[in-house]
Structure 1
């Protein structure tokens, strides 16, 4: 077949499509077919290089000749479009995954496979409903009537320590431990991420103690 003649300015646009990570699926492949055809490659050679059939190459050549780059778009499919039950996706998200999956929260890909829909559809519904199953935050309500005064004392000491004093901020880091929360976990809901009580019951710990020197920034640990 003779070399395909490109419209003015199309070579740069087609080359950009072959490198794009945001273009619709298949566009990079179609753009490459057209570029190779414009370079004079045979239909058989293009099919081998791109990994498609020879009729596919011929089809995209003809589409480009007829409509230009716009011809590389997907044509509307016949038949009734598939409907996705949005309420079912949300309800499934808020329910824990089956035990066989061995996870506590759904990912978009796992739920998509479970419901037999695309993960893009799941992600879109999550975004619209404000659902973020992968996120969690802690909370705590203090019942100490002297909390405000204590906070003022601690913050004031850090901001304005006594002369010649060394101010250390000490805390513990308990990474390896078995914990039980003092209140049930509040599950993910539309526009609300999972929430957990900040209080817990310990069942054995390995604790790291650290002290931060406020003046120098040096951390001493044990």
Structure 2
């Protein structure tokens, strides 16, 4: 399940839960209706609130997630949950689930169920979710990178992380990749008629007017982004974009972090590299695109600009992407990479050990 699906699932649980105040459930429904593409005035009418209330709910969710839907806590007694319960929620969240549970990671419901069955502590899934938000615990994002089988995994991690933590003096480090098949979804048409144009396809009950491929290069030092949309992803388009990405840095040593796509190693690309010895490729390990900083930026533009918007054509989608990049570059702030190669490798070894224990326990 991707992050967007998890967010929608959590909102649906809030909207139908008896464990939360009615006002919180209503706010969750307002955000869900907005995500469905309903008009502001229609949502206000359905919820029985003023249009400004709809705007406030959306803004609070956009800023703080589900926590923004709850009222700020005033003075007075808190819910009477034993301190031990809170401590156990935090402690278990920071550990992998027991091998005999068959779980690879905790969810709010599985953790609440585990506490009740194994430790006699009865708390709701909503209580667990609130503790996670208050303590900034995100188990759905930890340990989710897949274990690479690249024989040069350690060397490649050290190479790429070294560029992030200590880039060569006077050199430029670019993080490059392509976000493929970005869809121009028209969310104002959630239900299609029986017949529709041959150029339109149904995707999650919305009309899709086509797709584009976003080529992007992030300057690791400044976080500025160069982006270009192309109708197809191939070696020729990648090379054309690559030439454009390095042009502003002529005369400097240029280090480019990228993954192992076949379009990145075509004969034409290799020939161009041979003619430009100041440009150096640094490949992330196979199956480890999470190591490429541009992936972080792809996640940001998806959440903030693409996922919740409506596009009646590919041209409108491309224009919005360009506008977002221009706006981003006006106030670009570099990402802070803190994990060392040794820390990453230690975590991978820990995950590998946990997987082996789980496999061994299941084979008994």
Considering the TM-score relative to the shorter chain, is it more than 0.5?
A: no
TM-score between the two structures when normalised by the length of structure 2: 0.19
Higher strand proportion: 1
TM-score between the two structures when normalised by the length of structure 1: 0.31
RCO greater where, 1 or 2, for CA within 8 Å and sep 6 or more? Answer: 2
